[in-house]
Amino acid sequence: MSANIAPSKPSAAKPETRAAANGDLKSLPMAEVEKRLGSSPDGLSHAEAAKRLTQYGPNELEEKKQNVLLKILSYFWGPIPWMIEVAVVLSAVVRHWPDFFIILVLLVSNAAVGFFEERQAGDAIKALKARLAIKARVKRDGKWAKPPARELVPGDVVRLRLGDIVPADARLLDGDEVSLDQSALTGESLPATRNPGDAVFSGSIVRRGEIGALVYATGGRTYFGKTAELVETAVTVSHFQKAVLTIGNYLIMLAVALVSVIIAIGIYRGNPILTTLQFALVLTVAAIPVAMPTVLSVTMAVGARLLAKKQAIVSKLVAIEELAGVDVLCADKTGTLTQNKLTLGDPFCLDKIAADQLILAGALASRAENDDTIDLAVLGGLKDKNALKPFEITHFMPFDPVHKRTEATVKDADGKTFKVTKGAPQVILKLSANAASVQATVDKAVNDFAARGFRALGVARADGDGQWQLLGVLPLFDPPREDAKETVATAARMGVKIKMVTGDTLAIARETAKTLGMGANILDGATLGDSKNEETAAMTKSIEDADGFAQVFPEHKFHIVDVLQKHGHIVGMTGDGVNDAPALKQADCGFAVSGATDAARAAASIVLVAPGLSVLIDAIKESRKIFQRMNSYAMYRIAETLRVLLFMTLAIVVFNFYPLTAIMIVMLALLNDGAILSIAYDNVIYRNQPEAWNMRVVLGIATVLGLVGPIAAFGLFYLGDRVLHIDRPQIQTMMYLLLSVAGHLTIFQTRTRGPWWSTRPAPILLIAVIGTQVVATMICLFGFLVTPLWWGWAAMVWAYALVWFLLTDPVKLLAYRVLDATKAAPALQSKVQPRSGAKAAPQSEAEPRPPTKADAPKPVATAEPGANAKTAPQPDTEPKPSAKP
């Protein structure tokens, strides 16, 4: 079967050097365009395409690479670097050279760590972008191929289909009109209709139709100046990051306030102003969470790499935190809960139509090259694989959301012309002249199929210019995925309610839901409103309580997500088609499932590479672990800042004694901030409930630990000064060692809600903490930039710190019991009030689409059903591959 396009020979003319940049190419007659480009509807050869790729360059925007030196220098510019730099200058002015060099090391170290980790994160994002890069259907040497879109060159012939992002500026070849969404280019909300010969621009999305196109401009020469971006890096700040950064601002204000007290006291007592100012600056630098941005970026980058290993590619890094809080997941049925591996059942035939004739008519209205699962199922039902050879398809109309069916004009071996069509039974019935006489029979057949879990496909034929006659109904069965039932149960145990969303009938939806153990409370999409109208309280309650939704159109998906969000739910949504894009954008975390269209991938936050939902469950587990790491770091940072600032301020104000020197404060910050980066790799156990930022618990626990620290420090100070009568310089060394050791032990308390030993720390965290504390102990024993400390006193400090650590842990557990009385408190808090900052509705309403999955994931014939069924997961189990459809 082939489109009725008369092939023409490639022009012998050479392409003009600046052809792609020539604006006339979008308006000149097609013959002239082909001549200038040295091409034709048959496309280019591989050799010519390679030559032109060298000439024109890749079909992508050339990224402006920042000068490495300027990038490094940028880490020395900003409020925090300025404070450190002032401390360096003051150290030089007062000739405190040890302080000068150590503070300089701190400044350079922060810049080096920031540069290295940001570069690592950038490399991770580039790798993920490469995996998500779109491919184009290109005709090379007369055959269709699918190279990356970046390899397109002027003169290439591409095939554009429903859901495709137009990869380059092109002129449409012969065929039917297509509908394009150009909102990304022009801001126009309504789709634009384009006919053969018209120009289409890079970044547009095909909403309806299928057609060939001749590329005339690529890369930076395109009308819009760039191709559609499929991956967004971590530019947007998520709710969790905002909360952590708010904590950072709070700590900065606290540090400035207490340091101001120290400066005022120093001036009042007549201390040297430069020395006092230098000490105050150093203390401020140590107290301010300098490492917070670095820890955030490292944790997010590490999380993205871990999720990629679990077959979930993060295209918007902030989605990791949102995913941890998802409590409702609206999941597509076909291809997600089911195998999307349709098989043809025994057809229902009208009149004297034979089953083989009905299947043949349906097969003629199908196209194998479209890789559509419905088309492949119908074609697979042909007993005689050569049955299609006598027929020639002179015109083919692919599925689109407007017509809701496919149609083919066919010429048989005798030269007679007829038309065939297949689509949703109700659509084909309305089209058919014999609908009145057969409707009752057909409706009964469709309902019988639905009760058994079969989808129905109506088939009709029209001879010559005659009327359509319904021939019968083809039943299609899409079996549930082998791992789907266990996945639904696992999600429920994790506090995530999976709601089925399908365009299929109520009967099919209920049958599938019953098989998967999801519940039979399925709402009819026809009863739902749209986002322009506010739902009643009763309808909102029914949406929240529903186990799924049937006969749903894309605008219903958007509305379902919107209603759930307005009532406090964190909503995830899966989708694969171009019309799923609005709902995917609206959801807190949109998932483009395996085999999704380019448009769906562009709208989603996370792209699932493996089929099924089990990979998504693994992604939720990983995101909750990442959330726990961030939570642990936030509490640790608050507690440590309170510990150091309160102890230093009270010691200076009450005892007129500086318990630490400036150089000690710098070393404390350098060692502790360097080691805490390893928390991004720590072992944590996710909780079986959605995560939510509980400021009451975080600030409460951190405050308890931050107040216990100064009490322990003053206890050691009293012991050394009044009981053991140790010299003040040695007491300063003891206090430095205590704050260093006790400070890092705090991370073992904040990283778990239970006893400190309840979760085994990751080796890298253990090594980092032990390593830095060994270094701190050696510094004290050998007197490097501090007064040497007798090893007996050092051992006493270690023992003292460990005793207080063991005494503090029960206090932490008691604080958790008081502050977090119910385990579900964090999740419940997020649902008390409607979500603020709701995402705006997209500019345009998506066109309705019936159950037919024109762009469903491709079946993999080699997969064995049930080969990889999942078992109930444990907190730290590795992901298991899902069964392929």
Q: What is the pLDDT of residue 809?
A: 93
Mean pLDDT of 318-331: 85
Which DSSP string do the residues of 268-337 spell out, in sequence order? HTT--HHHHHHHHHHHHHHHS-TTHHHHHHHHHHHHHHHHHHTTEEESBTTHHHHHHT--EEEEEIIIII
Question: Residue 209 in contact with residue 162, Cβ under 8 Å?
Answer: yes
Instruction: Tell me the pLDDT band of 729, cut-offs 50, 70 and 90.
Output: very high
Tokens of 499: 């709601």
In the 8-state DSSP scheme, what is residue 369? G
- pLDDT over 80 at 572, yes or no: yes
Question: Residue 682 in contact with residue 629, Cβ under 8 Å?
Answer: yes
> What's the rounded Cα separation, in Å, for the pair 299 and 181?
37
pLDDT in tens, 858-879: 333 333 333 333 333 333 333 3
Q: Which of 75-79, 204-208, 228-232 has the lowest mean pLDDT?
A: 228-232
| 335: amino acid identity, one letter | G
pLDDT in tens, 337-395: 887 778 888 899 987 888 888 999 999 998 877 667 788 888 888 888 788 888 988 88
Tokens of 49: 């395409």
Tokens 């105050």: give the residue. Answer: 280
The closest alpha carbon to 46, from 144, 141, 143, belongs to 141
Choose from 564-573, 598-607, 729-738 the range with maximum mean pLDDT.
Answer: 729-738
Instruction: Tell me the pLDDT band of 79, cut-offs 50, 70 and 90.
Output: low
H-type helices in 133-222, by residue range? 183-186
Q: How far is CA 521 from CA 293, 355, 493, 524, 710, in A?
A: 46, 36, 19, 10, 57
> What's the rounded Cα separation, in Å, for the pair 224 and 57?
17
pTM > 0.85: no
The residue that leads in pLDDT, 422 or 99, is 422
**Residues 6 or more apart in contact with residue 178 via CB below 8 angstroms:** 160, 172, 193, 194, 200, 206, 207, 208, 209, 210, 211
Give kind and range of the element (H or E) at residue 566: helix 554-566
> What's the rounded Cα separation, in Å, for the pair 43 and 143?
9
Instruction: Tell me the pLDDT band of 111, cut-offs 50, 70 and 90.
Output: confident
Q: What is the pLDDT of residue 6?
A: 34
Active site residues: 332
pLDDT in tens, 287-312: 666 666 667 667 777 777 788 877 88
pLDDT in tens, 7-39: 333 333 444 444 334 457 878 888 888 888 888
Phi, psi of 425 (to 5 degrees): -55, -40
Mean pLDDT of 198-205: 84
> Which residues face 423 on adjacent strands?
405, 458
Mean of the per-residue pLDDT values of the chain: 77
Phi, psi of 329 (to 5 degrees): -120, 115
Mean pLDDT of 491-505: 88
Residue 105, number of CB atoms within 10 A of its CB: 13
